[in-house]
Amino acid sequence: MPDANIRVPREAKDRLAAMAAAEGLSPRAYLARLAETPLTPDERAERAELTRAALRTWNGYAPTAAEQRELDGALDRRPAEARGR
């Protein structure tokens, strides 16, 4: 597999190296694992739909689009509220 060079600020490089070392990994291995971890927007949407379908089947939970937006907004606000405490 070919390598790629990525330019990042020294502070970011040092932080990545420290996080990799804490997990017993090289920075290269840590970054490779990190790149595989997050979901793409399409993957997140697919998982969300599968979860909604499972909830509908399990207990009839079926929020409207407006209710979903309201719940998403509440979830987006919570980290900010927690940081402000």
Q: What is the pLDDT of residues 18-65, one digit of tens each?
A: 999 999 999 999 999 988 888 888 998 999 899 989 999 999 989 899
**Residue 1 pLDDT > 80:** no
In Å, how far are 14, 25, 46 from 11, measured between CA atoms? 5, 18, 36
pLDDT at 75: 87
CA nearest neighbour of 17 among 5, 3, 31, 6 = 31
pLDDT at 10 (0 to 100): 96
pLDDT at 85 over 70: no
User: What distance in Å separates the CA atoms of residue 68 and residue 40, rounded to the nearest whole number?
Assistant: 20
Sign of CA dihedral 55, 61, 64, 66: negative
